[in-house]
Amino acid sequence: MIKVRVAPSPTGYLHVGNARTALVNFLFARASGGRFLLRLDDTDTERGRPEYEQAIYEDLRWLGLGWDETARQSDRYARYAECAEVLKQSGRLYPCFENEDELAAKRASLIKRKLPPVYDRAALAMTASQRAAAEAGGKRPYWRFKLSEGMAAWHDLVLGERKIRFGAVSDPVLIRADGTPLYTFTSVVDDVDFGISHVIRGEDHVSNTAVQIDLFRAISTAMPPRFAHLPLISGGEGEKLSKRIGSISLKSLRKDGIEPEALAAYLARLGTNKDAQILPMADLIGRFNIADFGRSPPRFDARQLLVLNRKCLHAASFSAVRDRLPEGADEAFWLAIRGNLDMLTEARRWWEIVTGEITPPDMPGDEAVLRAAADTLPPAPLGAESWKIWTAAIMAASGVKGRALYHPLRLALTAEDQGPEMAGLLPLIGHERVLARLGRFVV
């Protein structure tokens, strides 16, 4: 039974990196007939907020991802405590008393001796009476997991063969002095209890994976899950995406006018050598293969995303977008402008241009064309054929043709150098406004 999960922490808005992890897990589950769990890693009570949790649901739904189950870590403290107890009994979880300064001093001394700064397990060597004395002195222990000898080796579905020697890693702290469990631990307990078969996450978790494989074995007799680590997306300038969280949250992309189909198409292919294509989700699922993902970090390319977004808008029907168009905008307006948009938010500007006030530049030298235009404008109502008829008439009257004809007309009527086909805009601007706009240039 294939089952995967995505495990965001509700401590901020989902960014492109989280969205990609979620999408890849979703596609993997759906492509294999498996299940997809949304787990909220909500144990950080200081930074966690309910509105971030709501935004996670909203953002995932917006992207077109549905999940089969929801779980939250804050419901499971009793279970974590129970597992911790078992590990304490077996001696795998041991109490430690060193404070940050003491640990820093140990690390510094190891580094000075050119040794890896790995925790020396001094606390593991404490006798029962030494521990009792530490506690009697007012110290509360935190708990480390005693790693096995040897190494963790796994076949990563993206990165290939991976080996990490436990000797190179400090025994991880699983329980803080105040009794709260840490992610390294809670995640494994959850993955065991929820029957997760594949853990697909960012490459930043590779060193956690080594430790977690050891923990899986300590907690459960079942096989650890399989792992797939996706190389982190780098920003345009090569910096890690997580540093730019604020600027590329899903919330802000949505607000900027990125369509979910474009983002899903982009992220489904990012880091593979296949071209992104706007497709219904069922086809993204049908074409998904985890083996397509490569080992090098992909670059986030906003231009490519915009190209996809354009394609999406060009194909969008009026009914698909009407709720997001300016009040009063109709199907004729949408069909006239959609081929010219990078983002849906630009529709507002065209609506203003068509129905509102515009300020065209002065056009000395174009008076003759514009006067001919005012004189030959076909009668109201202007329709689909009016532009063709009108420009032929202007040409005949003024002898001007080509760009010298079309450019001043476009500027006078839209105050823009370029834009959607004038033939479509003309009926939208309407007879009265066209005359008024030309009137400015004709004395």
Residues near ligand GLU, by CB under 6 A: 7-9, 41, 187, 201, 205
Residue 144: helix, strand or coil by DSSP? Answer: strand
Asked if residues 281 and 264 have their Cβ atoms less than 8 Å apart, the reply is: yes
Bridge pairing between strands 93-96 and 142-145: antiparallel
For ligand GLU, the closer of residues 7 and 264 by Cβ is 7
State the minimum distance, in angstroms, from the CB of residue 357 to ligand GLU: 49
Bridge pairing between strands 226-230 and 198-202: parallel
DSSP string across 311-329: HHHHT--HHHHGGGSPTT-
Which tokens in the block code for residue 43? 């144990």
Residue 165: helix, strand or coil by DSSP? Answer: strand
In this structure, the number of other CB atoms found within 10 A of the CB of residue 311 comes to 17
Look at the alpha carbons of 316, 334, 267, 52 in this order and tell me if their dihedral is positive or negative. negative
State the minimum distance, in angstroms, from the CB of residue 303 to ligand GLU: 28
For ligand GLU, the closer of residues 184 and 355 by Cβ is 184
State the minimum distance, in angstroms, from the CB of residue 53 to ligand GLU: 13
d(CA 226, CA 204): 16
State the minimum distance, in angstroms, from the CB of residue 184 to ligand GLU: 9
Total number of residues shown for the chain: 443
State the minimum distance, in angstroms, from the CB of residue 148 to ligand GLU: 20
State the minimum distance, in angstroms, from the CB of residue 87 to ligand GLU: 19
State the minimum distance, in angstroms, from the CB of residue 200 to ligand GLU: 8
Residue 173: helix, strand or coil by DSSP? Answer: strand
159-181 burial, b at 16+ Cβ within 10 Å, e below that, comes to: beebebebeebbbbbbbeeeeeb
State the minimum distance, in angstroms, from the CB of residue 191 to ligand GLU: 8
For ligand GLU, the closer of residues 198 and 205 by Cβ is 205
Helix axes 422-429, 347-355, angle to 10 degrees: 50
For ligand GLU, the closer of residues 209 and 386 by Cβ is 209
State the minimum distance, in angstroms, from the CB of residue 137 to ligand GLU: 35
State the minimum distance, in angstroms, from the CB of residue 199 to ligand GLU: 6
Residue 372: helix, strand or coil by DSSP? Answer: helix
For ligand GLU, the closer of residues 35 and 205 by Cβ is 205
For ligand GLU, the closer of residues 18 and 309 by Cβ is 18
Asked if residues 230 and 291 have their Cβ atoms less than 8 Å apart, the reply is: no
Question: Which residues, at least 6 apart from 283, have a Cβ–Cβ distance to it below 8 Å?
Answer: none
For ligand GLU, the closer of residues 190 and 259 by Cβ is 190
For ligand GLU, the closer of residues 9 and 414 by Cβ is 9
For ligand GLU, the closer of residues 230 and 347 by Cβ is 230
287 Cα distance to chain centroid: 20
Q: Which of 66, 19, 29, 24 is nearest to 272 (CA)?
A: 24
For ligand GLU, the closer of residues 201 and 269 by Cβ is 201
E strand map for 330-441 = none
In this structure, the number of other CB atoms found within 10 A of the CB of residue 64 comes to 15
d(CA 149, CA 29): 34
